[in-house]
Structure 1
Amino acid sequence: MVSRSTERSNEQPGPPSTVLFDLDGTLLDTAPDFITCLNAQRERQNLPGLPPDMIRRSVSNGARAMVKLGFGLEPGHADYERTHGEFLDHYEAHLAVDSCLFPGMDALLSWLEARAIPWGIVTNKPERFTGPLLKGLELAHRCAVTICPDHVTNRKPHPESLLLAADRLGVDPRKGIYVGDHLRDIQAGREAGMFTVAARYGYIEEPEKLAEWQADLIVDDAAALLQWLQSRNA
């Protein structure tokens, strides 16, 4: 299903200049590996595993959220740095084991590639994990641009990373589309002047508040986004 949340006077007809994706919870379902790593770390501390759905909802908030959810620790706590480091090391060793493209996403990417519409990734996930993950899933050679926080001064919701992606592609960001599953994605996209799409299928902590993000479009899955692109570019 596709829902239009707001009307944008600057929406451009015809093919977009680019389609950019957030990574975790938008392009890739990485939650299975996060669930495995966090519960394995809890098991090593003689703690029971957490329900997968509980972990899944927090994946887009990164490793800091995992440590808070799993152990109740935040930066400044005496055990935080050690626990955070252990989680990252375990996750790095477990990259791309059970992670995969969301259903329908490969067809969407293939459709874009067949029409020479460059697609890319703009993520707050560090390059340390992003690069090996894309390589492991055989996506690195297909992706036209990948922007991680290592490449910019300001992370999302600041628009810097999106504008850098558009600049590297040599395209007009105002004719581009950004797809994400977090409020910061929509905020960054709007600030960059892009058409924004909220991925309802992603790792959303409060689905009932999704409409409040004011994305230009809300989609239930990748197939719905492909259908919308096809109708828009007919």
Structure 2
Amino acid sequence: MPTSSLYTTRAVLFDLDGTLLDTAPDMVRALDLLLQEEGVPTVEHEKARQQVSHGAGALVTLGFGETQTERDHKRRCQRYLSLYEENLCVDTDLFEGMAETLKFLEDQDILWGVVTNKPAFLTEPLMKALNLDKRSSTIISGDSLPQRKPHPQPLFHAANECDVLTTECIYVGDAERDIVAGNRAGMITLLASYGYIDAGDQPERWGANGIIEHTHEILDWLTKADELELDIQKAN
């Protein structure tokens, strides 16, 4: 529990894929392997990268198209997850500047954690492989609770595990469901534009409190969060 921070923000929570970690190299590689197994041409890396935040189902649909049967789609998703699990952390790493951002938060006694829709059997070993599991104050996976984003309950649960109010949290994500969940939970929400956003998306319409282009901009919002809190107090 933070005790000496100069900021009103007491916890910063992150989505995993496309926000905290650049998992695209390993997730796209698993899709390539699956496509190769079935004799299907691989997909352009950048197109696949844009779908990473949406998980296995979206990647399989991208690779095999909308016309595949439900049975084939399910089978391919299961095989995809097996291939991905076998090569979970080959080229995955923190986004540029994130290591310094996390260290700053820790130095300021501000907790940080992860709220993701990625299943726990992938999330937990990935965090452990990067030596982040012990540093993170909470890790909520897509199957940790009955609800998952865009439902706000995972964020409520994460705040509870950190022993902070949701209004004392910033949530950073790269998908619309992240912003919707964070807003519903009463958190300050930041859209990570450096993440896996589809070319056809309109993130400026998702309702985030701010859009950041680099991880270090998260730190700027620690001060902005203080200003927002003062504005709210004055309004009341």
Query: Normalising by the residue count of structure 2, what TM-score does the alignment of the two structures yield?
Result: 0.89
Q: Secondary structure at the match of 1:204?
A: coil
Q: 1:135 to 1:113 in 2, by over 3 A?
A: same
Counterpart for residue 114 of structure 1? 107
1:199 aligns with 2:187: no
Query: Do the aligned residues in 1 keep the contact of 2:189 with 2:208 (CA within 8 Å)?
Result: yes
Cα separation, 2, equivalents of 1:191 and 1:75: 35
Cα separation, 2, equivalents of 1:116 and 1:192: 22
Cα separation, 2, equivalents of 1:125 and 1:87: 14
Q: Secondary structure at the match of 2:105?
A: helix
User: How much has 1:218 moved relative to structure 2?
Assistant: 0.6
Counterpart for residue 126 of structure 1? 119
Counterpart for residue 51 of structure 1? 44
Query: Do the aligned residues in 2 keep the contact of 1:17 with 1:173 (CA within 8 Å)?
Result: no
Unmatched runs of 5 consecutive residues or more in structure 1: 1-12
Cα separation, 1, equivalents of 2:67 and 2:150: 21
1:80 aligns with 2:68: no
Query: Do the aligned residues in 1 keep the contact of 2:35 with 2:41 (CA within 8 Å)?
Result: yes
Query: Do the aligned residues in 2 keep the contact of 1:18 with 1:117 (CA within 8 Å)?
Result: yes
1:20 aligns with 2:13: yes
Counterpart for residue 157 of structure 2? 164
Cα separation, 1, equivalents of 2:180 and 2:67: 25
Structure 1 stretch displaced more, 192-201 or 39-48: 39-48
Larger RCO: 1 or 2 (CA < 8 Å, sep 6+): 1
User: How much has 1:174 moved relative to structure 2?
Assistant: 0.9
Q: Secondary structure at the match of 1:95?
A: coil
Cα separation, 2, equivalents of 1:227 and 1:100: 23
Specify the code of the residue in structure 2 equivalent to 1:104.
G
Cα separation, 2, equivalents of 1:78 and 1:177: 40
Cα separation, 1, equivalents of 2:198 and 2:49: 9
Q: Secondary structure at the match of 1:20?
A: strand
CA RMSD for the aligned pairs? 1.9
Cα separation, 1, equivalents of 2:77 and 2:200: 28
Specify the code of the residue in structure 2 equivalent to 1:166.
A
Cα separation, 2, equivalents of 1:185 and 1:99: 21
What CA deviation, in whole Å up to 9, does each residue of 1:142-171 have, x standing for no partner? 111000122211110000000000111110
Unmatched runs of 5 consecutive residues or more in structure 2: 1-5, 228-236
User: How much has 1:74 moved relative to structure 2?
Assistant: 7.6
- Identity of aligned pairs, percent? 42
> Pairwise mapping of residues 216-231 of structure 1 onto structure 2 (< 5 A)?
216-229=209-222
Q: Secondary structure at the match of 1:16?
A: coil
Q: 1:139 to 1:108 in 2, by over 3 A?
A: same
User: How much has 1:232 moved relative to structure 2?
Assistant: 6.0
Query: Do the aligned residues in 2 keep the contact of 1:64 with 1:74 (CA within 8 Å)?
Result: no
Cα separation, 1, equivalents of 2:217 and 2:190: 11
Residue of structure 2 aligned with 1:92, choices 85, 90, 93:
85
> Pairwise mapping of residues 147-186 of structure 1 onto structure 2 (< 5 A)?
147-186=140-179
Cα separation, 1, equivalents of 2:215 and 2:101: 7
Specify the code of the residue in structure 2 equivalent to 1:60.
S
User: How much has 1:75 moved relative to structure 2?
Assistant: 8.6
Specify the code of the residue in structure 1 equivalent to 2:49.
R
Structure 1 stretch displaced more, 199-208 or 117-126: 199-208
Counterpart for residue 27 of structure 2? 34
